[in-house]
Structure 1
């Protein structure tokens, strides 16, 4: 009888322990539960107040999911584009219970758009990201930034000042030097175009005839579909077309310039270069490069070794928007990075 009682107790204890929900199961079961959140009413959207030297404004954010240890703030490209560049993430992150935050920077379509060029500086954008982080309640136990293109510049600049607040950093499709990017565009990508086409494009740019329909036609036909998004124009995702439709050209041209062959003219980012400072970044860092990118993938591989805890993700089928034209490799690598950092299994390489 005593043996039978002990056996029943053991079985009961086994069932209690064995049926205890794992942490990852808890996250998954609560991932779409907004009932305890203050943004349930708006479906995750928050207009976050920010202060600037030129007054107070609001920026648009939308949080998808709940995960107490993985919260990824998405820094869009441009400058002056929108969060819509990242809508493909909806097809991958929710299934992995990864919380992510769409965000339109000040001046972009869904946020306030003050008409003051003095606001468009790296330093002010960094302070904006820090204010957004605080408003979202993120810290170094859960906070990641993922920046693509110009967003990669902003992500690097943020990490160089505020890495103490980061759990991980993802630099997607962005070199650490505008002069190096210009050199790659002019000496490598341009000459790969048919010579007659490249000569026409350079003539348009020399004459500053950027609004000429022929200039735009040549770029889309020969350059964009090779190095921006490797799909026929009529197959481009609606989210990308919508994003480009919503661009703020004032912010874009002021910081990036009117050309797609590098950062040119009197654009404020023309001389930007943080290559000498990368070695001061200590947080786990993923750098993403692609074979057909407008950015040199070899340079980005070098960046992954220059930071102290870096990993390189290569997208062999991707271009500048690898989150669309090489999703298999892009999302597999990003998700693995987030999982490894979260589990304490991150190894650089």
Structure 2
């Protein structure tokens, strides 16, 4: 698997970033020296999981302590990291909500085997179930939140194991990758200057993803508009680092190189669960952002297909709405969790 595209991506981000070069092993190192806050964060727990290739370990870290609300976070990518949810520490502990940062197998703090046979939806679903058991989560307290690829994984987990869940949160993820590609090419792409979009599509047509021009164009005309709505040199340190730590062995195998759809041959190609949404019966929150890489209207439709669901719209949000529209994202998330917990949903 070629790595140069991701090396280029990392170098591009480092060039845009003016952040401290020191990297921390844990988000705890980024928290101000506040005894009360630090007391809420458990030590890292490496959880053993069984895979077709033997036992491996995945990274988790708990923040807060609430026997009734325990929120497990599924990061995007595939192959990114828990730092996608770095700022959850600024909003949820104050509301008494416990959450767990978690790096999936192949990501950051977890084991990173070089074996593509492990990068399947079914194995990741099984991994989440093993993590649930190890953490002692159950239908009386277990909430699952996934964003982007994590939203896909959350849906797939629910199709198989929703009896173990108290609530589900699907953030910034459509239920059909073909519909996502259509939205990206027919709606988002044309928002670029015509000559820019034409150049991006020509690079994709040639499969020339290692061309520095590809990242240059996306860094100016796509990421700050639809991934996180700030100039890239103002992105939070955790997000800059997360994006530079993407595991290409996982990401490329499952998603491919393209930012306007799934690269032909990637394992997630053709994924579509629109006809299964009605089988999710647990309380569900679907989150969409106005400027998202995903179609907010499709995500609103998803909330109507799921029998017991609510839609949270983030008018200023993009794909990482927790960072560019926290004023809507966190109150909506917190209200959902509390409503379910109190039997008011």
Same fold, judged at TM 0.5 (above) = yes
Distance 2:250 2:37 in 1: 36
Q: Is the 8 A contact 1:227 1:294 kept in 2?
A: yes
Greater relative contact order: 1 or 2 (C-alpha under 8 angstroms, separation 6 or more)? Answer: 2
Q: Is residue 329 from structure 1 mapped to residue 328 from structure 2 by the alignment?
A: yes
Residue 85 of structure 2: aligned partner:
86
Residue 73 of structure 1: aligned partner:
72
Distance 1:33 1:70 in 2: 18
SS of 2:222's equivalent in the other structure is: helix
SS of 1:312's equivalent in the other structure is: strand
Choose 1 or 2 for highest CA Rg: 1
Residue segments in structure 2 that go unaligned for 5+ positions in a row: 1-35
Once the two structures are superposed, the pairs formed by residues 168-247 of structure 1 within 5 Å of their partners are 168-247=167-246
Residue 278 of structure 2: aligned partner:
279
Distance 2:289 2:131 in 1: 30
Residue 114 of structure 1: aligned partner:
113
SS of 1:57's equivalent in the other structure is: strand
Q: Is residue 166 from structure 1 mapped to residue 137 from structure 2 by the alignment?
A: no
Q: Is the 8 A contact 1:32 1:65 kept in 2?
A: no
In the TM superposition, residue 33 of structure 1 has moved relative to its aligned partner by 6.5
SS of 1:176's equivalent in the other structure is: coil
SS of 1:62's equivalent in the other structure is: strand
Backbone CA RMSD of aligned residues: 1.3
Q: Is residue 295 from structure 1 mapped to residue 294 from structure 2 by the alignment?
A: yes
Distance 1:31 1:82 in 2: 22
Residue 7 of structure 2: aligned partner:
none
Q: Is the 8 A contact 1:85 1:239 kept in 2?
A: yes
- Superposed CA deviations along residues 288-346 of structure 1, whole A, max 9, x for unmatched, are 00100000000000000101100000000000000100000000100000000000000
Q: Is the 8 A contact 1:44 1:64 kept in 2?
A: no
Once the two structures are superposed, the pairs formed by residues 48-67 of structure 1 within 5 Å of their partners are 48-67=47-66
Distance 1:223 1:33, change over 3 A: closer
Residue 314 of structure 1: aligned partner:
313
Distance 2:182 2:39 in 1: 49
* More off after superposition, 258-267 vs 58-67: 258-267
Residue 14 of structure 1: aligned partner:
none
Distance 2:67 2:43 in 1: 15
SS of 1:171's equivalent in the other structure is: strand
Distance 1:61 1:181, change over 3 A: same
Q: Is the 8 A contact 1:318 1:325 kept in 2?
A: yes
SS of 2:73's equivalent in the other structure is: strand
**Runs of at least 4 residues off by over 6 Å:** 30-34
In the TM superposition, residue 262 of structure 1 has moved relative to its aligned partner by 1.2
In the TM superposition, residue 31 of structure 1 has moved relative to its aligned partner by 9.7
Distance 2:52 2:83 in 1: 28
In the TM superposition, residue 187 of structure 1 has moved relative to its aligned partner by 1.0
Distance 1:311 1:109 in 2: 32
TM-score relative to the length of structure 2 = 0.88
In the TM superposition, residue 44 of structure 1 has moved relative to its aligned partner by 3.0
Q: Is the 8 A contact 1:170 1:285 kept in 2?
A: yes
Distance 2:58 2:195 in 1: 44
SS of 1:268's equivalent in the other structure is: coil
Q: Is residue 135 from structure 1 mapped to residue 139 from structure 2 by the alignment?
A: no
SS of 1:271's equivalent in the other structure is: coil
Q: Is the 8 A contact 1:141 1:167 kept in 2?
A: yes
SS of 1:48's equivalent in the other structure is: strand
Distance 1:204 1:150 in 2: 24
In the TM superposition, residue 98 of structure 1 has moved relative to its aligned partner by 0.5
Distance 2:222 2:37 in 1: 40
